[in-house]
């Protein structure tokens, strides 16, 4: 990618956000090619951090990744005082003040299309302009964004398959190529003495360790590349392994995509090249990367999805409310539904901040279509728990499960938690890992313990209603109630 022919600046500031890497980083590249000297900064935004729990895996992940990024920038710059300026403040205020302190002519950052981020960036742009400084933003978090893949009529797609076909038709070496950041490293400037400080500790930020080391979650670009190297060895089998939570099938790169510790162009290029060579696994994984782009453009063009259904007719559905519904929701959150696959999946997210994609669909369907609870409540819980929480994908996934979103599953498609369990965890390996109290049951009894014979339950040490709950809902009954609930919807 060639640098654009725009005026150069004597100095600029790169504002890192959800792009915590040096390699193939769009804003960093453009700053280095347009400025004589470049400073780099990250802001722990107090507006974002304030509502989070004091032990939050994502804050720890960001902090550890910043330590690596700071060291990498220092090495790349060749300056003893090179590296990252890390602040802890309201980001809009901090960037305005830092730009003035450094007396830069422009701030460079990458797009963030979440509504709150767009509003924040608009504020920053206005404030910088009042100081006579520019804000330049770039595409970096997706391969295609915003208006790049549109229908022939010039409208955003709302159905995935046509979008995917258009995406594949448009993609080429240019869109998948990397920005050669390293060759322009001479423009990196040393930090001023007063700003030459190490990355703040978690304690200094008001947080406590959340157990990333114990969970063996690799951080930073080095961790991301280790995961990619491991996945490339398995990618050809991805189509066959991706739906089974007890098998090492996924790439486990979602949290790295979320925080930009690896380039989405690198991942798409890797998948595209392998798929072009005939790998069905790589083709499937590429399709999932395209889904990611798809949900980003849905959020950008239809920001109402943050609070409302993509299909307005689905907001007519009357969800269960009141104390009984709250009790059912709590049981779902805590993995006490009496359906082992659902409960094991919720134990996984609660303990690790990760949930296998197949299980995300199962537990979402269960909450919405077995318990009759508003998808927004499940979406909010996932947003709280997931290490890889991304508004666009989380919202898109929950609206897909509730049939209220674009290109969603039909309202009458309701996952059976028992048959899903029998199909995707037939040997019960995943269930036994997260529900050890059921480990003594046979495979035949494990997926629906309430159907097991009393003697088998006794021999396995399982006491239904005591050390494992009875089902909180009958699936067949719930299915009929859901069909009636969705009857108010006047669209297919």
- If asked whether residues 166 and 238 sit together in one domain, one would say yes
pLDDT band, very low/low/confident/very high, at 352 (cuts 50, 70, 90):
very high
- If asked whether residues 173 and 241 sit together in one domain, one would say yes
Chain segment 238-289, per-residue pLDDT in tens: 999 999 999 999 999 999 999 999 999 999 999 999 999 999 999 999 999 9
pLDDT of 468 over the 90 cut: yes
Distance CA 314, CA 96 (A): 42
208 domain residue, yes or no = no
Tokens of 68: 């690596």
Range of the domain at 399: 312-487
Query: Domain holding 35: CATH number?
Result: 3.40.50.620
Chain segment 122-177, per-residue pLDDT in tens: 999 999 999 999 999 999 999 999 999 999 999 999 999 999 999 999 999 999 99
- If asked whether residues 374 and 330 sit together in one domain, one would say yes
Distance CA 35, CA 15 (A): 14
What per-residue string of b and e applies to 287-307 under the rule 16 or more CB within 10 Å gives b?
A: bebbbbbbbbbbbbbeeebee
Q: What is the mean pLDDT of residues 455-463?
A: 97
- If asked whether residues 136 and 157 sit together in one domain, one would say no
pLDDT at residue 185, as a whole number: 96
pLDDT of 415 over the 80 cut: yes
Q: For residue 82, give every residue at least 6 positions away whose Cβ sits within 8 Å of its Cβ, in sequence order, or none.
A: 73, 74, 75, 76, 188, 189, 190, 191
Neighbours of 252 (CB within 10 A): 18
- If asked whether residues 119 and 262 sit together in one domain, one would say no
Distance CA 299, CA 297 (A): 5
Beta bridge partners of 404: none
207 domain residue, yes or no = no
pLDDT of 492 over the 50 cut: no
Query: Domain holding 397: CATH number?
Result: 1.10.579.10
**In contact, 41 and 84? CB cutoff 8 Å:** yes
Chain segment 316-351, per-residue pLDDT in tens: 999 999 999 999 999 999 999 999 999 999 999 999
pLDDT at residue 409, as a whole number: 73
pLDDT at residue 410, as a whole number: 83
Active-site residues, by number, are 288, 291, 319, 357, 375, 398
pLDDT of 442 over the 90 cut: yes
Neighbours of 138 (CB within 10 A): 19
Chain segment 6-54, per-residue pLDDT in tens: 558 999 999 999 999 999 999 999 999 999 999 999 999 999 999 999 9
- If asked whether residues 383 and 471 sit together in one domain, one would say yes
- If asked whether residues 151 and 271 sit together in one domain, one would say yes
Q: 402 to each of 54, 188, 299, 327, 405, how far by Cα in Å?
A: 32, 48, 17, 20, 7
pLDDT of 439 over the 80 cut: yes
pLDDT at residue 411, as a whole number: 83
pLDDT at residue 6, as a whole number: 55
- If asked whether residues 453 and 356 sit together in one domain, one would say yes
pLDDT of 422 over the 60 cut: yes
Q: How is the beta sheet containing 85-89 ordered, strand by strand?
A: 85-89, 35-45, 9-16, 106-110, 134-138
What per-residue string of b and e applies to 311-324 under the rule 16 or more CB within 10 Å gives b?
A: beebeebeeeeeee
Distance CA 294, CA 216 (A): 31
- If asked whether residues 157 and 132 sit together in one domain, one would say no
Structural domains in the chain (count): 3
Which phi and psi (to 5°) does residue 322 adopt? 95, 180
pLDDT of 491 over the 80 cut: no
pLDDT of 402 over the 80 cut: yes
Query: Domain holding 152: CATH number?
Result: 1.25.40.80
Q: State the average pLDDT for the chain.
A: 96
Q: What is the mean pLDDT of residues 403-424?
A: 91
Q: What is the mean pLDDT of residues 392-401?
A: 96
- If asked whether residues 331 and 415 sit together in one domain, one would say yes
Quick one: which H or E segment has residue 89?
Answer: strand 85-89
- pTM as predicted: 0.95
- If asked whether residues 268 and 410 sit together in one domain, one would say no
Pick from 114, 140, 166: which residue ends a domain? 140
pLDDT at residue 427, as a whole number: 97
Q: What is the mean pLDDT of residues 463-477?
A: 97
Distance CA 357, CA 167 (A): 23
- If asked whether residues 380 and 429 sit together in one domain, one would say yes
Distance CA 405, CA 474 (A): 26
């Amino acid at each position: 990618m060639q640098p654009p022919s725009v005026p150069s600046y004597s100095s600029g500031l790169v504002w890192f956000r959800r792009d915590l890497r040096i390699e193939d980083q769009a804003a960093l590249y453009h700053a280095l090619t347009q400025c004589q000297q470049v400073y780099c900064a990250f802001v722990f935004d107090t507006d974002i951090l304030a509502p989070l729990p004091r032990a939050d895996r994502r804050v720890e992940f960001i902090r550890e990744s910043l330590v690596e990024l700071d060291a990498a920038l220092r090495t790349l710059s060749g300056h003893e005082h090179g590296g990252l300026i890390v602040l802890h403040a309201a980001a809009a205020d901090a960037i305005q003040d830092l730009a003035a302190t450094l007396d830069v002519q422009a701030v460079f950052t990458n797009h963030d299309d979440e509504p709150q981020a767009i509003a924040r960036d608009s504020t920053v742009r206005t404030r910088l302009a009042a100081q006579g400084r520019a804000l330049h933003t770039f595409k970096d978090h997706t391969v295609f964004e915003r208006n790049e893949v549109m229908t022939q009529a010039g409208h955003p797609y709302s159905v995935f398959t046509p979008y995917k076909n258009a995406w594949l038709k448009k993609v080429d070496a240019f869109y998948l190529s990397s920005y050669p950041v390293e060759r322009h490293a001479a423009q990196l400037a040393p930090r001023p003495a007063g700003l030459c400080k190490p990355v703040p500790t978690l304690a200094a930020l008001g947080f406590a360790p959340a157990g990333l080391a114990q969970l063996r979650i690799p951080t930073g670009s080095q961790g991301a590349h280790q995961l990619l190297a491991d996945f490339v060895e398995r990618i050809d089998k991805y189509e066959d392994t991706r739906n089974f939570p007890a098998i090492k099938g996924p790439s486990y790169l979602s949290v790295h995509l979320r925080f930009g510790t690896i380039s989405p162009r690198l991942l798409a290029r890797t998948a595209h090249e392998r798929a072009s060579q005939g790998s069905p696994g790589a083709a499937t994984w590429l399709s999932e990367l395209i889904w990611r782009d798809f949900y980003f453009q849905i959020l950008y063009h239809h920001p109402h999805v943050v609070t409302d259904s993509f299909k307005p007719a689905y907001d007519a559905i009357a969800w269960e409310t009141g104390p009984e519904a709250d009790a059912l929701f709590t049981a779902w959150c805590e993995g006490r539904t009496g359906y082992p696959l659902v409960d094991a999946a919720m134990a996984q997210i609660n303990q690790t901040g990760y949930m296998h994609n197949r299980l995300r669909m199962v537990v979402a369907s269960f909450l919405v279509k077995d318990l009759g609870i508003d998808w927004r409540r499940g979406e909010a819980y996932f947003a709280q728990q997931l290490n890889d929480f991304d508004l666009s994908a989380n919202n898109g996934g929950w609206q897909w499960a509730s049939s209220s979103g674009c290109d969603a599953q039909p309202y009458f498609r309701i996952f059976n938690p028992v048959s899903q369990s029998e199909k995707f965890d037939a040997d019960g390996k995943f269930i036994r890992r997260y529900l050890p109290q059921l480990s003594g049951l046979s495979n035949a009894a494990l997926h629906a313990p309430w159907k097991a014979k009393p003697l088998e339950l006794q021999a396995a040490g399982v006491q239904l209603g005591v050390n494992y709950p009875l089902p909180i809902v009958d699936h067949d009954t719930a299915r009929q109630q859901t069909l009636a609930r969705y009857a108010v919807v006047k669209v297919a």
